[in-house]
Amino acid sequence: MKKLSLGMAFALAFVSFVSCAGAEIGEVDVTGGRVAGVSANGIVSFKGIPFAAPPVHSLRWKAPQPVEKWAGVKQASAYGASCMQDPNMLKFFGAGPAISEDCLYLNVWTPAKTANDKLPVMVWIYGGGFVLGMTGSPAYDGTHLAEKGVVMVSIAYRVGVFGFLADPELSRENGGASGNYGLEDMIAGLQWVKSNIGRFGGDPSRVTIFGESAGGLAVNMLTASPAAKGLFQRAISESGGSMAPPRFGSEGGETVPPLKVAEASGHAFLAKLGVNDMKAARALDAGKIQTALGPGLQGGFWPVFDGKILPGDEYELYKAGRFNDTPVLIGTNSDEGALFAVPGVTTALFEKQIRDGFGTHADAILAAYPHASDAAAAKATNDVLRDSTFAWHTWAWATLQSEKGKGKAYVYYFDHRTPQSPNGATHGSEIAYVFHNFGQGDGVNALSAPARPEDIAMADLLSAYWTNFAKNADPNGQALPTWPAFTAAEQRVMFLDAHPSARPVPNMTQIKALNSYYAWRREEGKSRKGN
């Protein structure tokens, strides 16, 4: 009998061990209520978790408010609706058709077996020119990143006029600032992560924010926002620095307006809609407002130097040491300007565009970009877009981080070429490799043809670098090519191409020409009213 009891005890212990080894986090109590996830191949996904109240009616153009509580268990099995934008973009990005102002939802993928696993957390911020974008694109599915030992989160934020309208009346409502509701949504999402991610097996003290294009710009903005302080410990920006001076008009390479300029633009838009106060504007149908913006990337609404969420010129903030100092991993793609270039550029047209945008520094810019033939002018157009929109900002950010911060800067240059992009890596093309998601129907970011062995190898490399950085604040790891930190004295960047290795900064002649231009614009802007 004694032997039988011992055998039963052993069997029970074994069953208990097997049960624990295969355990998953299936239901979680979060702010607002309880959610149930969906398990598949060792990863549990929770989709469509509300992190703020629906920003509708009187909450339109206001900071996100606390989430509304729900009863019972919410089945977190489907993405929330995409935020208001051109509905044609949803199909383009492979997302579901639902679109609504009620869109402040986030998603979690976790490989954790218990809430005590304390895995590093990666929080994705989508791109789309601050006019479009959604978490529901299959290109952003977090399963494969979670398989590498991180808890993956993606958060939604308002875009276009719903996310970035400034107006004098709105500023009076909000203590003298308006126009950054989309950024405030991201901050609210990060606050939710800090409060809740531990229950999914994540470590709230090891949070990495990462994003591409507008999402990458947002990452840079969050590193300079006092409101985001302490909400993340690492930052990854793919094609997204925002280090230029304020935009007052049509200055080349500048995008963020000061509050007075943004208020005037927003007020003019509301007047176009036939309303003259916020009560009337908030009563308008959301579809009517969206239609007035026009299709695609039109609309002209962008984050604002409001003095609150974005205190001012980020270059100056970094120089003064006023930023959220974390390690950063940042970079650009070799041919990303091609996505934005208008066809039919001639030598004469290129010169006119540069002279219209770059003022007294136009001659120096023209000298840095050979354009003697129409073919050369077309390439120069692509390269100016690449460098003035992405590459200079990344270089300036890395330089200031290495000079003024304690966190290290790791810089990359993505130049993986495919039969579809023989001239270089296009804008957003690295996303498929970072997420290890191929053929997902995303009109910009997915690899359209079947993945080749070299594509799989590049995805293995990028996803390893990115998740290593999330785990250790350093992308390096066993069997990976060594990636040195960037310093102002020794400016080395990781070329991610057929032979990955650290090399000098590419296109440095052009970056230096743009650096002189931005220094001039910065001094010129200081004398303008409204800066």
Catalytic residues: 213, 336, 427
Give the residue from 130, 212, 119 showing the smallest Cα distance to 412.
Answer: 212
Q: Is the dihedral of CA 88, 92, 98, 102 positive or negative?
A: negative
Question: Which residue, among 287, 289, 254, has the nearest Cα to 275 in the 3D structure?
Answer: 289
d(CA 332, CA 334) in angstroms, rounded, equals 7
- Which token pair is 481? 């090519």
Using an 8 Å Cβ cutoff, are 347 and 375 in contact? no
Give, rounded to a whole angstrom, the gap between the first and last alpha carbons of the chain: 87
Closest CA to 410 of 472, 365, 455: 472
* Residue 38 backbone phi and psi in degrees, to 5: -120, 125
Please report, for residues 349, 355, 359, 509, 514, the alpha-carbon distance to residue 364 in angstroms, rounded to integers and kept in the order given.
17, 10, 10, 11, 9
From the centroid of its chain, how far is CA 298?
19
- β-pairing, 119-125 with 43-50? unpaired
According to DSSP, the residues that pair with 109 across neighbouring strands are 45, 152
Distance CA 484, CA 467 (A): 17
Q: Do 119 and 53 meet the contact criterion of CB atoms below 8 Å apart?
A: no
> Any idea which residue has 């993340």 for tokens?
232
Token match 């670098």: residue?
Answer: 465
Name residues whose C-beta falls within 8 Å of residue 375's C-beta, 6 or more positions apart in sequence.
Answer: none
CA 144 vs CA 152, 160, 249: distances in Å: 9, 30, 43
* Cα–Cα dist 43/494, whole Å: 31
Pairing outcome for strands 501-504 and 492-496: antiparallel
Q: Specify the length of the chain in residues.
A: 531
- Structural tokens at position 285: 């149908």
